[in-house]
Structure 1
């Protein structure tokens, strides 16, 4: 069974009811701090939480600005606070129709409305006609009864209609069963009530996990046992009362430790038994190892962490920790020779993850232990999961959420760009706190405050950087002109049946040698395959040499233009060269002249016009300076404009030496990557 929509409000900062369209698997609430993301989850939790401890309290939950007015009507007319609409799976629908002889369609939905006095109302619509038809087909019914049933549209009307008909001996027990069904409810529609009774034990419950549910570093077992005893005594004295009314002596940290003990099959009473230390500790350590192994399936930031459990007394500690044994939780880091620290003081992300697993196991255990709840699905409500995790660890946790979503619907809040799947923006709901309006929840981002949707923009920017310009295999070049020449020449060479650059290799223009170095330092650590093609100044580049020495890139993966300039000595760096020097001077000058034809007055510049030198770009710039020709205010000329001209109007033919140089370059890069 899936939650389709949740209407929330008025509730705390939600002044006007807000409709949240719930994704079948994962729904992400994105917004600024104090926008109302957590408030939305709290409203869902208080509607029907798994541990049955949360409840609506108008003084605490109703929007404060209207509270005085509302309290005057609360007892006589409590306000609606949530409305949940559900849809059944095909398997559930088939089972329901088979059990009750209904004919509900695949689009069947029903709603549960909850009010501030913690009562509920059901909105459900079921056609009784198919059920009535099955009743008319009951074997042995007399023809008179069947004829009378033909005009009936409600089961509730059957007894009254048959009062004037003489019933046979087979008709009477049939009618008695009908009367029993009617007597069970005061609902107008018997079938609607029966459908609801079938649905009720299957409606998903909400399970909320936030920052306050973290396990403690230590807890006094005598104090814990006393708190448990108080709750058990109250339940024994009030067997028909809701657990929500029990004394609030068990806080989240106590329930977390009880969950850990339950996983180890230990009760708090076990700690009072003499000579039980070794057995208890062994069972707790076994559970800790099991949970740590579960975490490390998704936790890839530091796989040397483990949770250590100890039980001991400390009469010198402060109360209540000086009264009998305490349970201590610590995190041990094998990377640092087994140094351990209290659970709450180290690796906040790891402690959150560990606490979540303990809590989640506890919730599942409670459902399994309760026969009435066993068939229910869970809807997980996670408040700022991964808040204390490194960006890459957040990506790990996203995988864990996807794993949870295979069995449970998940709603979580975040303002981190790394907790958003950019290929699933349909799962995002934007939460804003608008002036004089309050919390507003929307599934559209077009009119949202830029500050609110910043995480989405940042996530998209990160994805673009990772996927649009960067792939598994990357050739880093200094500028966009290099990219254009390499792309164009690769196409020309491949058209001749020769070796061009492999399609899966992405050319990444970094914007200068300094940025090439930064790209290598950042991307090399991500396990990507990298090669570099840079301009050669006539001497080794110190920054690249440093990266090679730090083993961030292989020396073989650092290429320069001069290595492919002389076909007789390929692979040798010998004189200053740019990528443009791999083109024959006549070919490059032809495109230079055509690009700046208007500024040059139609003159075709040839190599004999240029001063001597190693690099065609420098020779042209010196020629322009000597001739007093100004192609741009800062001097020189726009190299990219010539490259753009080359790509937009590729040459009909290219000289053999130019083709050979670029083919040698492509072969080298293909081999490296």
Structure 2
């Protein structure tokens, strides 16, 4: 079965969460501290916990402000705590059809509830009359026996009528056997529930972290007295991965036995972990079994002590496991515990992760999300809580749910406490609740708008317009355009490239720079030296325009640019752009022409803005291109085609 919706009531800070949907793969609960996120996971976990029979306790868990009114509020009955809705898997549906016949189910959805009496109640939609008829038709009754049985609307009724058939009838024997075996207490609902697999819930939080030092005598005592702590479960899981037990580890008498068992477990966890741990891949987990030293603090000063240490291969030094970052310890502990759960559990598991990766760096949190998607979600539903923007799935915001403790304030009246609510539409009026969502979305939008996987950095927005327009012109002439995989991004000049690369993660982008200043040689060399850009990814426009320093407008040539400016500003005759001095930059010459005209005859020339002609060209490029002479057009097209070919050659 797959969990599709849930509703929590009468539990701690939750009066009524309202019904909320859960994603079939990963659901993210987003909310600020003390909003009730952990409470939601705790309630879900207690529906069917994997490790122990954690129970709802009315005295501890029922909302305190209503506890004295419990009997009155629930009319002497046990209050419902959790209601869940599940869809039946195709394999389960087929098993039900095989057992009870086609049409036995009237709905693929099942409701499962649990109350303060810790009773689990199932609600299944079925057609009992159709199931009864299927039993009659497939039990081997003769026609006269079917006539004797007649119509039966319930299994209990069929059982009574089948019992009246002659004892020697094979049909009677078969039918009664099927009812006794497949319908506990003659209940169709219980018969169907027997064929359904309610997944177990595994709750993992910051408190379930393995300790770097374990006193084997202490953990054996807690194991025998059934007082194991959260950290103990992780160590027991690690032993299970090594195909051993705490008892066996404590009795190991030779070093090689220890090494052979735990190196295998270490290699397995390390291979899985460092596939997704990008912060430092030069670490190795090392296990040791030592006799306690009297100078160590209790309880590590007696008996045998199991120690986990981390080898940093870059610095050639080992450090205690507890001294590693909290994020590293959390990830390792989760992998160890989850590996044991998968190994021991026969049914499905729903993972409930409370603030996973809370202490991880933002990049490591992205790695953790990738781990969820690639390794967990294909086989398990994952529900996790967070208040970190980096743990919000910005590429799948519909899977996020807002969680907030709702309090309505009225003027001159006591606040109205509505308790924890879950928002299924990723909307909230509380700015603190929205903060992680807003930041995650803003970061994603910024990345998407400003940078693509293949980014060409240019100086100004007008460069972008001319490059795109000339690419289309080349395409119309059946020549080489700019590859559409390039995202053109105005960066403001070579001096801004370093900041851009730092902000947008140059290690995952293929970036090229198109510079208008050959004099930026020192900055370019700095970027190459510090590996900010790859060799061969920096281009100067002058190299294609045939002059030392150039703008995109110089690539167009005086003829084409003169036509663009003239058409844009309506310049004709003496007002047209004059021929350029050799080696000069066309934009400087044009701006000077406009300035001089304005000073000579005030009011006769508009103010020059180099962006305006670029926009005009993009809108009328076909008409303008037609006015060029063949030789001028050929030179311009050749310049841009050579530039685009060189840029395209950088792409895979």
Task: Specify if TM > 0.5.
Answer: yes
2:433 is paired with a residue of what secondary structure? Answer: coil
Bigger mean CA deviation after superposition, 415-424 or 122-131: 415-424
Q: Alpha carbons of 1:672 and 1:226: their partners in 2 closer, same or farther (altered >3 Å)?
A: closer
1: CA distance, partners of 2:140 / 2:49: 48
Q: Alpha carbons of 1:330 and 1:294: their partners in 2 closer, same or farther (altered >3 Å)?
A: same
Bigger mean CA deviation after superposition, 152-161 or 108-117: 152-161
1:540 is paired with a residue of what secondary structure? Answer: helix
Deviation at 1:251, TM superposition (A): 0.8
Q: Alpha carbons of 1:109 and 1:659: their partners in 2 closer, same or farther (altered >3 Å)?
A: closer
Q: Alpha carbons of 1:203 and 1:23: their partners in 2 closer, same or farther (altered >3 Å)?
A: same
The aligned counterpart of 2:322 is: 344
Contact 1:590–1:605 (CA under 8 A) maintained in structure 2: no
- Write out aligned runs for 1:42-53 (5 A): 42-53=42-53
The aligned counterpart of 2:7 is: 7
1:553 is paired with a residue of what secondary structure? Answer: coil
Is 1:169 the equivalent of 2:141? no
Deviation at 1:262, TM superposition (A): 2.3
Q: Residue 200 of structure 2: which of 188, 199, 205 is its match?
A: 205
Residues 70-111 of structure 1 show CA distances to partners (whole Å, capped at 9, x for unaligned) of 277789422110012222111111112213446334842221
Residues 585-644 of structure 1 show CA distances to partners (whole Å, capped at 9, x for unaligned) of 3433443344445xx9x8863344999982222233334444446999xx9632212211
2: CA distance, partners of 1:77 / 1:227: 37
Is 1:359 the equivalent of 2:341? no
Residues 434-453 of structure 1 show CA distances to partners (whole Å, capped at 9, x for unaligned) of 22322211221345534433
- Write out aligned runs for 1:208-287 (5 A): 208-231=203-226, 249-273=227-251, 275-287=253-265
Q: Alpha carbons of 1:638 and 1:12: their partners in 2 closer, same or farther (altered >3 Å)?
A: farther
Deviation at 1:488, TM superposition (A): 0.8
Residues 33-64 of structure 1 show CA distances to partners (whole Å, capped at 9, x for unaligned) of 22222211111112211012422122332223
Deviation at 1:206, TM superposition (A): 0.4
1: CA distance, partners of 2:293 / 2:286: 18
Bigger mean CA deviation after superposition, 97-106 or 505-514: 97-106
Residues 295-340 of structure 1 show CA distances to partners (whole Å, capped at 9, x for unaligned) of 1233333221111111221221222222211111122111212x12
Is 1:320 the equivalent of 2:299? yes
Is 1:529 the equivalent of 2:499? no
2: CA distance, partners of 1:455 / 1:558: 37
1:351 is paired with a residue of what secondary structure? Answer: helix
Two-structure CA RMSD over aligned residues (Å): 3.1
Q: Residue 553 of structure 1: which of 530, 533, 539 is its match?
A: 533
1:437 is paired with a residue of what secondary structure? Answer: strand
Q: Residue 420 of structure 2: which of 427, 431, 439 is its match?
A: 439
Q: Alpha carbons of 1:37 and 1:524: their partners in 2 closer, same or farther (altered >3 Å)?
A: closer
Deviation at 1:224, TM superposition (A): 0.9
Q: Alpha carbons of 1:429 and 1:604: their partners in 2 closer, same or farther (altered >3 Å)?
A: farther
Is 1:565 the equivalent of 2:545? yes
The aligned counterpart of 1:308 is: 286
1:134 is paired with a residue of what secondary structure? Answer: helix
The aligned counterpart of 2:309 is: 330
1: CA distance, partners of 2:237 / 2:46: 21
- Write out aligned runs for 1:411-490 (5 A): 411-435=383-407, 436-490=417-471
Q: Residue 194 of structure 1: which of 191, 195, 205 is its match?
A: 191
Deviation at 1:146, TM superposition (A): 1.7
1:123 is paired with a residue of what secondary structure? Answer: strand
Contact 2:136–2:175 (CA under 8 A) maintained in structure 1: no
Residues 204-251 of structure 1 show CA distances to partners (whole Å, capped at 9, x for unaligned) of 1101111111111112111111111212xxxxxxxxxxxxxxxxx211
Is 1:404 the equivalent of 2:376? yes
2: CA distance, partners of 1:252 / 1:330: 20
Is 1:579 the equivalent of 2:557? no
Deviation at 1:484, TM superposition (A): 0.4
Deviation at 1:506, TM superposition (A): 2.2
Is 1:622 the equivalent of 2:592? yes
Contact 1:8–1:18 (CA under 8 A) maintained in structure 2: yes
Deviation at 1:184, TM superposition (A): 4.5
Bigger mean CA deviation after superposition, 511-520 or 345-354: 511-520
1: CA distance, partners of 2:578 / 2:101: 96
Residues 355-376 of structure 1 show CA distances to partners (whole Å, capped at 9, x for unaligned) of 0111112323442xxxxxx3x2
2: CA distance, partners of 1:144 / 1:540: 102
Q: Alpha carbons of 1:583 and 1:197: their partners in 2 closer, same or farther (altered >3 Å)?
A: closer
Contact 1:49–1:206 (CA under 8 A) maintained in structure 2: yes
2: CA distance, partners of 1:114 / 1:605: 86
Is 1:38 the equivalent of 2:38? yes
2:519 is paired with a residue of what secondary structure? Answer: coil
Tell me the number of residue pairs that the alignment of Structure 1 and Structure 2 aligns: 629
The aligned counterpart of 2:564 is: 591
The runs of 5 or more residues in structure 2 that have no matched partner are 408-416
2: CA distance, partners of 1:357 / 1:106: 41
1: CA distance, partners of 2:55 / 2:445: 45
Deviation at 1:253, TM superposition (A): 0.8
Q: Alpha carbons of 1:319 and 1:343: their partners in 2 closer, same or farther (altered >3 Å)?
A: same
TM-score (norm 2): 0.88
Contact 2:276–2:368 (CA under 8 A) maintained in structure 1: yes
The runs of 5 or more residues in structure 1 that have no matched partner are 232-248, 368-373, 567-573
2: CA distance, partners of 1:228 / 1:457: 46
Contact 1:204–1:378 (CA under 8 A) maintained in structure 2: yes
The aligned counterpart of 2:575 is: 605
Contact 1:266–1:280 (CA under 8 A) maintained in structure 2: no
TM-score (norm 1): 0.85
